[in-house]
A and B are shown apart, each in its own frame.
Chain A
Amino acid sequence: MSPPKFKVTYIEDGGTAHTVEVAEGWSLMEGAVKHLIPGIDADCGGACACATCQVYVAPEWQEKLPPKGEMEETMLDFAPDVRPTSRLSCQLRMSAALDGIVLNLPKSQH
C-alpha cells in the first residue's frame, strides 16, 4: 500500500507557484526534486550536509513544523541569504499536519 499524499506549494524566487502532492514520510526536499521544481539543489541528497535545500516557510506554517535539530540550526547559520523563516527542506517530513504548506524558494542555493 502506498502512503497517503498531501499538498505542498513551492514558490520560485520569480513568483511561479507549483502545487504538488508529496507522500507522507518523504522530505519536502524530495517532494520538490520528484516534481522537478527548480530552485532546490540538494547536492547531498538529504544528508543534512550541504545546505543547498533551503526554503522559507510561510509564517502561518512555522509553528506546525518540528523544531530545528542542532545540525540543521548550525548548517542554516552559515547558509547564504538566511532569514528567520529559513529551514532545510530535507529535514522536514511530509505529514497530514503539513497538508497545504507553502514554501518559498531562495534565488540561489550557492
Chain B
Amino acid sequence: MPENIVIIGAGQAGQQAVQSLRSEGFKGAITMVGDEAYPPYQRPPLSKAYLLGTFERPRLFLKPDSFYEEAGCELLISTSAKAIHRAHRTVELSDGRLLAYDKLLLATGARVRKLRCPGADLAGIHYLKTIADVDGLQSVFQSGKRIAIVGGGYIGLEVAAVGAKRGLDVTVFEAMDRLMARAVSPQLSAFYAAEHEKAGVKLKLRTGVEGFEGGAKVQRIKAGGQTYEADIVLVGIGVVPCDELAVHAGLGCEDGIVVDQNARTGDPHIWSAGDCTRHVGREGHSIRLECVQNAIDQAKHAALAMVGKAKTYSEVPWFWSDQYDLKLQIAGLARPADRLVQRGRPEDRKFAVFHLRDGVVAAVEAVNAPGEYLVGKKMIAEGKAIAPETLADMSIPMKQMG
C-alpha cells in the first residue's frame, strides 16, 4: 500500500519536504496544508528588496504552481489545520474536513511576538512576517514619514536600512545596550550602529518601549521615559514557534516542537522541521533556529527519515542579513564565553569576527568578507583548531587556512 503523507504548513520547510520526498523516491500521496493565501514563498526578501520595491511579488515564490502539480502534491492554501488526532492518524482542517495520514510533517514555522503595552493594538502598528504584512506596510512606507522601529534585531535593522534609503525619518528603539545583541559580537553591533547613524537613522539604545498614543491611528511612542512623534510603527521583537497543534496533541514541546536528529517527534508517525522545532544541535545544546538553512536541512532530513533513509542532522547553521551595501554572513553558533578574533578592519567595511572555543572555530561573522565566511564555515564543520594570531594575520590568505 502506498503511504500517505500530510504536511502542515506551506512555507520554506514544507516546500523542501515535498521536493526531497519525491527526489528520495517517495511514491505515495502528499497533501500540504497552508493557512496563508499563497503557495510557499521566501521570507528573506520581505524585509529587504521586496520592501525596497526592487523585487516583484512573483519572484518571491519558491516554486511555480506547476511544481506542486508535477510533484503530485495536493496544495490546500487558505486552509488551516485545527487539530491532530493521533489515535486515528487524522488532521482536522478549518473547513471541517479530516485528512488521514500515515506520516505527518509539522512545518508550521513561527509567528511574530506581539508587544503587550498600552496602545499596542492601535492602527498603524505593523509587524513583518508575511506578504500581507509588507503589503499593509508598503502603502504608508513613504518618503518623509516618521517610522519608529521597535527592536534592533535583524528585521528591525533591515527595515531601518530600507527606510533610510527610501527617505523615511527612521528611529530604532532597542531595550538592550547594543544592536543585534542576541545574535552577534559587540564588534559587529558597534560597526552596524555606526553605519546606521551614518545613513541618518537615529538609534535609541537601552530604551524600552512603554506604550503608544494616538486616535484613529498611532501618533506617539513612549519609550525610555520620553515621548516621540511617529507616523508608522514597525515592531520586530522576535518570534514564537507555532507549536500549539503539537502541544494539544500531547507531543513533547519546550518553546518549540522537540525533535531528534532525524527531525522526528516522540510519535513515530510525526516529524517536524523548520522554525517551529527545537532540537539538540551539533554541539549538544538544545536550540531553536530561525533561518532558511535549518528549514531546508531539517526538512531534507525529515524526508530522508520518512522514506527509511534516516541520516543524522548535523549541518552547520548559516544565516545572512543585507543592510545597505553590507552583506553579513554568519555560520555556526556563538556563545558568550567564546574568544573573539577579528580579521580585517571595520574601517574598510570588510572584516570578520571569529569565535574560538577551546581553540576551535565555533562561529564566524563576516561583513562583505565571503572568503572568511566560507572558510570559517568549513573550519566549523571540521572542528578545526587554529591559532588566533594566524587567523588575524591578513598576510595569510583565507584559502591557505582552510
Q: Which residues on A are within 8 Å of B, measured CB to CB?
A: 26, 30, 33-36, 43-45, 47-51, 70-71, 74-75, 77-78
Contacts and interface: CB of A to CB of B under 8 A. Distances in A.
Pick from B66, B292, B370, B402 the residue with the most CB of A within 10 Å: B370
Interface in B31-83: 42, 44-45, 59, 62-64, 66-67, 70
Nearest to B43: A45
Contact of A78 (B59, B66, B296, B375): B375
Nearest to B327: A71
Contacts of B329: 49
Which 7 A-B pairs rank lowest in CB-CB distance, beginning with the nearest?
Answer: A78-B374, A49-B320, A74-B370, A45-B42, A74-B371, A75-B370, A34-B64
Contacts of A51: 374
B293 interface: yes
Nearest to B350: A70
A36 B256 CA distance: 33
13 contacts: A34-B64, A36-B66, A43-B292, A43-B293, A44-B320, A45-B42, A45-B292, A47-B44, A47-B322, A71-B370, A75-B374, A77-B374, A78-B378
Contacts of A43: 292-293, 296
B368 interface: yes
B285 interface: no
A47 B371 CA distance: 16
Given A44-B292, A47-B322, A78 B63 contact: no
A75 to B, nearest CB: 5
A75 B304 CA distance: 29
A33 B66 CA distance: 11
Contacts, number: 53
A48 B326 CA distance: 12
B63 A33 contact: yes
A36 B374 contact: no
Nearest to A71: B370
B44 A45 contact: yes
A91 B374 CA distance: 18
Contact of B320 (A30, A35, A47): A47
Contacts of B402: 78
B2 to A, nearest CB: 23
Interface string B363-394: 00000101100110010000000000000000
B375 A48 contact: no
B321 to A, nearest CB: 9
A65 to B, nearest CB: 19
Nearest to B48: A47
Contacts of B374: 51, 74-75, 77-78
Classify the interface of chain B: helix, strand, loop or mixed: helix
Nearest to B329: A49
Contacts of A48: 327, 370
Nearest to B70: A36
Contacts of B67: 36
A78 B67 CA distance: 31
A70 B374 CA distance: 14
Contacts of B399: 77-78
A70 B370 CA distance: 9
A78 B368 CA distance: 15
B77 to A, nearest CB: 19
Nearest to A35: B64
A54 to B, nearest CB: 13
A44 B371 CA distance: 17
B316 to A, nearest CB: 12
A71 B63 contact: no
Contacts of A70: 368
B249 to A, nearest CB: 31
B22 to A, nearest CB: 11
A77 B296 CA distance: 24
Given A45-B44, A77-B371, 20 more contacts: A30-B59, A36-B66, A36-B70, A43-B292, A44-B292, A44-B320, A48-B327, A49-B318, A49-B320, A49-B327, A49-B329, A71-B368, A71-B370, A74-B370, A74-B371, A74-B374, A75-B374, A77-B374, A78-B371, A78-B375
B63 A36 contact: yes
Contacts of A49: 318, 320, 327, 329
